[in-house]
Amino acid sequence: MTAIPEIATLSETATHARRVALIVAIAFFMQLLDSTIISTSLPQMGASFGVSPVAMSIGITVYMLTMAVFVPLSGWLADRFGARNIFLLAIVLF
């Protein structure tokens, strides 16, 4: 008689795992979209500021440096305060 609750538990675990995977995939998509938006908008931003798009490439450099700083910091924060809490905070701040 204990087999039925175990099957239900496995089903709930599989559903939860799919839900978590979907949330993480959406977050990765948001980050990828964010990083591609800046590179595709550089010509328009350069025209608005009156500078060449090549001079605007500093925006991509700053973005990458910011990511390089915050990735290790987010790992440390996740170890300290919990990965779920920091992940949710990052999504809200985004």
In this predicted structure, the answer to whether residue 81 has a pLDDT above a threshold of 90 is yes
pLDDT digits over 25-59, tens only?
998 898 888 878 878 888 888 889 888 878 888 87
Percentage with pLDDT > 70 across the chain: 89
The reported pLDDT for the residue numbered 5 is 57
Residues 6+ apart with CB under 8 A from 49: 56
Rounded to whole angstroms, the Cα distance separating 37 from 33 reads 6
pLDDT at 31: 82
CA-closest candidate to residue 73, choices 51, 90, 49: 90
Which pLDDT value is given to residue 51? 87
Domain limits, the chain: 3-93
